[in-house]
Structure 1
Amino acid sequence: MKQSEQSAQQALPSVWTRPERRRRDQPALSREQIVATALELLDSEGIDALSMRKLGARLGAGAASLYTHVANKDELIELAVDEVYGEVELPEAGGAADGEWRAAAAQCAHGLRAAFLRHPWIASVLGEAGLSHLGPNMLRMSEAMLGVFEDAGFPLEEADQAVNTLSAYVIGAATSEAAWLTLLTRSGRSEQEWVEHLWPAAERAVEPYPRLRRLYATRRAQDAEGARGDAFGTGLDSVLDGLATRLRG
């Protein structure tokens, strides 16, 4: 490898920018096993519980076996994040060419939100997940969504902007929801119990603000989980409406 290539890799520390390490003998663990167990640990105990030592204990393996596949905790998080993206069902190639691009985009958006809410720890690591856009599952999703918008009639550059706009909305909304779900888990209460417990303080806080006071009053008896889903759907419709307008223009 040329020195310039080595320097570039050192400047971009990521599991996706270095060759996977190889051993002459067959390692007892695979990267897939390591990542699957890391996901179990993250889902059950949260991001603060993740460590190479604790993960090794769950796998019944020493650190050397882990480091064959993963250089450090940061790389492990990159792999876990990409695994979450791999749970999203992607639209079939060419499926949006018949004008159903909006349904295909909405399907992917709802799938990504659902994946984030199944793994709420992701809200605390996305900004630290390194070069997550280079992960294989993320690349497959990006390629599929580019196809959706390009088949709909967007030029490739505008299709990329459409994908970025949609992703920004979904990730922003879903990470906020995931952070909320993490708070609920720590409280030990159901979502509806927590909302009802919080409501009197919220009403006192908005008392000086007439618009917020009216808004809160309309939401007093809402089902909390259902309201979150409705709000996400309304926001998604607004994003897709905007993209449809650009497409017609």
Structure 2
Amino acid sequence: MPRDTLTRDQIVRAAIEVLDAEGVNGLNMRRLGIQLGSAATAMYHHVKGKDSLVVLAADHVFAEIELPDLDALGWREAAAALARGAHAMIIRHFWLIPAMTTHLIYGPNKARYDEHCLAVYESAGFCGGDADQAAAAVLMFAIGAAQGQAAESGWRARLRRTGVDEEQQVRDTMAQITEIAQQFPRLRARTGDIGDDGQDPFEFGLRTILDGLDSALKGKAGVSL
């Protein structure tokens, strides 16, 4: 694809496809050029380099999070919807977590999400820095809760890049994890039963955090009385 027919949006979307398949370590301008059928040098007419592209891609995927209607929902439902949207988005794009450890993620889509989060917590009654802290706590939980699935996706992407038998490696690793767990009574008792109680750990944690924020609001109201 000639460079004058490329757009930055095309490049960012192609980068996300590569990142979703191969992770941050699998993205480079040569690989992206192959994805787009263009010379690697053509990319530099639209983006500064890989680091800039990772930031652009990260901001782009934040646009996937649907913003709840504050007029139709209470603050708790709206906060939960934003957290679920962030959690699901990060699981879809596992590379976002390692990208966050090496890049400052910013842009209009991330700002749009942050702005709406602040509006939710301000509508609940949090003021100033308290609204910032509430929004940050819930987003950090959503990111942390996605860590396990994101790590597995990243690990699988690395296995694919190295060319090993992915499924055999997964079976061997799970067997090793099970063998280690057998040495510890509480882990041994739970082997094979994790998740069988029907309780979603993410929903449990989200509910607990929102309960805590709700309690903090009621405590402030009590003090003001």
Q: Which TM-score tier does this pair reach, normalised by the shorter chain?
A: 0.7 to 0.9
* Per-residue deviation, 1:72: 0.9
Identity %: 37
Alpha-carbon RMSD: 2.7
- Unpaired segments of 5 or more residues in structure 2? 160-164, 220-225
Task: Give the partner amino acid of 1:106.
Answer: A
Q: Which amino acid aligns with 1:201?
A: E
Q: Distance in 2 between matches of 1:103 and 1:193?
A: 39
Distance 1:51 1:196, change over 3 A: closer
Q: Give the unaligned 5+ runs of structure 1.
A: 1-25, 207-212
Provide the C-alpha distance between the structure 1 equivalents of 2:171 and 2:53, rounded to a whole number of angstroms.
35
Map of 2:98 onto structure 1: 124
Q: Does the CA-based 8 Å contact 1:94-1:147 persist in structure 2?
A: no
Cα separation, 2, equivalents of 1:72 and 1:194: 38
Normalising by structure 2, we get a TM-score of 0.82
- In structure 2, distance between residues paired with 1:158 and 1:140: 19
Which residue type is aligned with residue 49 of structure 1? G
CA distance in 2, matches of 1:140, 1:53: 32
Pairwise CA distance, 1:61 = 2.2
Runs of 4+ displaced beyond 6 Å: none
The TM-score with structure 1 as length reference comes to 0.74
The residue type equivalent to 1:157 in the other structure is: G
CA contact (8 A) 2:63 2:109 kept: yes
How has the CA–CA distance of structure 1 residues 161 and 89 changed in structure 2, closer, same or farther, with 3 Å as cutoff? Answer: same
2:65 corresponds in structure 1 to 88
Contact 2:181–2:187 (CA under 8 A) maintained in structure 1: no
Q: 1:75 aligns with which of 48, 52, 76?
A: 52
> Which residue among 85, 88, 91 is the counterpart of 1:111?
85
1:248 equivalent in structure 2: 218
Aligned length: 210
Tell me the distance in 2 between the aligned counterparts of 1:159 and 1:40. Answer: 35
